[in-house]
Amino acid sequence: MKKLRVGILGLGRCGAFIKSLYLNDAVFVATCETNEELNYGLKELYGDDFGFYTDFEEFLKHPGGMDVVIIGNFFHEHAYYAIRCLEEGIHVISECLSNATMAEGVALVRAAEKSKAMYILGENYQYGTSCLEMARVYKEGSLGKVLFAEGEYNHPWLGSLEASRNKKTSAYRSFETHWRNYLPRTYYVQHSLSPLMYITGSTPRTVTAFAANNCDATTGDLMIGPNVKDRAAIILCKNDDGSVFRLTGCASFGASDHVYRICGDIGQIENIRGMEHKILLRYENGWAPKGMESVQMYEPQIDPVEAELIEKAGGGHDGADYRLIVEAFKAIREGKQHTLDVYFATTMSSVAIQSHRSLLAGGVPMEIPDFRKEEDRIKYENDHDTPFYGSDGSKPTMPCSSY
């Protein structure tokens, strides 16, 4: 089997994938990183031919080429680099938000359709052990058709309100125009939404959202700046199959969790809040599969061989980081479209953007376009509104908070 040659844009987050590359017949050949201090020791680790670049276009010309680029630069600036890779015929694994504006989503889809290379969203939470178990049970059919599902990603980092007002309180947002200082609560929606879409196959088509804010609080969120006074966004999605999702973006209320619930017309399954590795599976009386109880609580087990590989890879995110690479490389090698393709990715980004617009408008429903359709693309191809500062100094064109 040919070893895939992999480059990484942004070592801060994506450095966590390096061990997984070598466990999946790949080699790390180059990185593009503006923090030149991270260059220390890389050639000693990965060989004299390893390339360290600060210029992306030079990175793309790395001698010997690259088969895959993993994109993990600033959260809101992935689309341009993904498009350039696709134009060069390089497969893309892009972390989290595929596009920060609707126009970028249109451009990304068009580039992916023209390219011989594959676009894969590098979202990981659906590969957690409990989410994979929920997917297994749902796809076996014993729950019936999905009617309602919940996804909640709550990641507070609480401190004093005075500390939260200090823009340099954390390496997570170390300068005034850093994206985390202007991150709307709906935009980091991938960890709550992707598992629901992955498990059920449902696709959002309309969204509405409301903000939960507490501007008189004595605590602040140290991860996201004080410009964002909303502490959570509660989003409802009406889906193409008639089902409804309720989800949060990156919420910040007390007690962290990442929990999911899938409700069919016969039964429901969830990972238990506060005990996220445990599963609660329940059926309507008399509808449980033969030989099963109507109510079960258990912790799903994983194959010992996979468990050992996950440990060797660093174990990140309950094994999800390792499994992300396994599934992405399998799709690339087999030439089969990945579930988390460019349409899946841009749908989630549309939910992030359109639900924030709903929130700003007091809960007015907003459509989620289908970028497979050219008529939907045309409507949004010039929609560049953003709550973020650009690295070129461009300013936000929409508020980051409802307050």
Residues in the chain: 403
pLDDT given at position 169 = 63
Question: How far is Cα 132 from Cα 125, in angstroms, rounded to an integer?
Answer: 10
- Specify the CATH architecture of the domain 126-306+342-380: 2-Layer Sandwich (3.30)
Strands 366-367 and 204-213, by their bridges, are: antiparallel
Q: Strand locations in 214-324, DSSP E?
A: 219-221, 230-239, 244-251, 257-264, 267-272, 275-283, 295-298
Taking only Cα atoms into account, the Rg of the chain, rounded to an integer number of angstroms, comes to: 21
pLDDT at 350: 98
- Distance separating alpha carbons of residues 14 and 31, to the nearest angstrom: 10
Note the helical H segments in 115-204: 129-140, 161-164, 190-200
Q: Under DSSP, is residue 34 helix (H, G, I), strand (E, B) or coil?
A: coil
Give the rounded distance of the alpha carbon of 362 from its chain centre: 26
Residue 257's SS3 state is: strand
* Residue-level pLDDT, tens digit, the chain, 403 residues: 789 999 999 998 898 999 999 999 999 999 999 888 877 788 889 988 999 999 999 999 999 999 999 999 999 999 999 999 999 999 999 998 999 999 999 999 999 999 999 999 999 999 999 999 999 999 999 999 999 999 999 998 888 877 877 755 667 888 889 999 999 999 999 999 999 999 999 999 999 999 998 667 778 888 888 889 899 999 999 999 999 999 998 999 989 999 999 999 999 999 999 998 999 999 999 999 999 999 999 999 999 999 999 999 998 788 999 999 999 999 999 999 999 999 999 999 999 999 999 999 999 999 999 999 999 999 999 999 999 999 889 999 999 999 8
> Per the structure block, which two tokens stand in for 28?
């790390």
Cβ atoms 148, 244 nearer than 8 A = yes
Which run of H or E residues covers position 205?
strand 204-213
Q: Which of these CATH numbers, 3.20.10.10, 3.40.50.300, 3.30.1460.30, 3.40.50.720, describes 4-125?
A: 3.40.50.720
- How much is the pLDDT for 403? 85
Predicted local distance difference test score (pLDDT) of residue 10:
93
For the chain, domain boundaries: 4-125, 126-306+342-380
Q: Tell me if domain 4-125 and domain 126-306+342-380 are identical in fold.
A: no
